Structure 1
Amino acid sequence: MYVKTVIYPAAALFNGRETYFNSVLVEKLEKWGYGTNFPQRDGFEFGNLKEALSGMVPDDQINSAVSTVIYYLDMGVLLTGSDVILANLDEPLDEGMVVEASYGKLMGKFVVGIRTDIRSPYGRPDDDYGAMHFFPAFQTHRFISHYMPSRTPEERDTQIEDLALKIHDTIMEAKVSHQETIPDYATDNPNLKPVFEGAEILFHDIDDIHSPSGLKKIASRYINNKNKLEKIMPKYIPKDK
């Protein structure tokens, strides 16, 4: 039985320009037959998660709790359940994307970097990787540079189609297929293992994590396992210390 190869689009999603580009590219990739774990669609809406935790967590700890739950969902469920990490390397580089690409590579995922940006903060546009910082670029297995001036609607549509085709051809050339399990070297990694365990604690056997009942279960599980779940988080040191 054929199982779709699943793509995780790792990208900034904090304004209309970013979310529009992400959604259009995902639409094109899904038309090519890919499954996607799309954070801006499949992740949590901050307000709903805050509401579920309200009254169960002290007000001054709610933001920290929301961040913790979202981290486990993205890193332990959406990223883990994907086969390809599609890292948007346009400027300014998104910090979350860099972490997701790096962790994805450690998990044995196939990481494809895409860059449409003509800005060259670390050299000349014709340098390797478009003169972006080479450290994030080195977290990818393939690097796609794609110019998108989009001067007309017709040109825009052609250029986004061409980008989706480049991504598809890259995945096909690398013979990436769906993996049901994470490799042992990843599950045994002491830095990754707590992520998998935390995601299992929070989300196991919840059919719809976005439903009111699903959110309530997640909030309850967070409260009951708070100390364990927060072990992977940095210890906060107040400014006056």
Structure 2
Amino acid sequence: MESKVILLVIIGTIGVMLMAFSVVFFVLLYRRKVLENQLDMQEVKTKHQQEMLNATLKSQESERNRLGTELHDSVGAMLSSIKLNLQVTKKREGVVSLEPILGHLDETISQVRTISHQMMPIILKKYGLKHAVEDLFEKVSSDEITASISEWEESKLDEENTLMLFRIIQELVNNSLKHAQANNITLGITTQEGKMHLCYQDDGIGFPEGVIKNSDGMGLLNIKNRAQAIHASVDFSNPETGGAKVDLVIDASID
């Protein structure tokens, strides 16, 4: 009788333990399922955010091209027509006072042309990234600052990604001109193991440490967003030799 009681106790204990293990197992399984669902939702959210970012950047570029075309074809043409009429009037009537107005018109036409080309980089579409960068560097170079290409081994990118990369370079140059107090800018592009490496440097005051840590400056944020759109990694740093440095790595297979 006593042995039966012991056997029943053992069986009962085993049963309770099995039930406890079952509950623990199902709780762990449930938590794992919840975690997997959360990860799936996060992945969908991240993908959606990436798609929204790409759509926003494409929309911005489309609007830039539209405004660039309007400036070049409409406003530029109207200014040129006004200049021509004033020149005819000056020649016919001998109005010397028109000379300053013609000078201001020349300057305005030049500025409109520059802005329209920045918004709608015709050189990039016609001749490719290297020629567009050379043209950009030529325009920004002066007695105070020199911009040059140190090396160039460009991989083939599609039109959208090439435009994004050019916008990144424009933003880097603007940052050097506005904030860095730099005298020299260098850009190098190389290709290694199917990846395009872009190295941009200037000899200015460097990035503020807080900006590097958080990438919260407007220019750096624009660069990060555009880099993300072309699936590129970007790193901002202040080399020991001075100045600022930006390293960008792009999967050269994206097209």
TM-score by length of 1: 0.27
Greater RCO (CA < 8 Å, at least 6 residues apart) = 1
TM-score of the superposed pair, with normalisation by structure 2: 0.26
Which of these two proteins has the greater Rg computed from alpha carbons?
Answer: 2
More helix per residue: 2
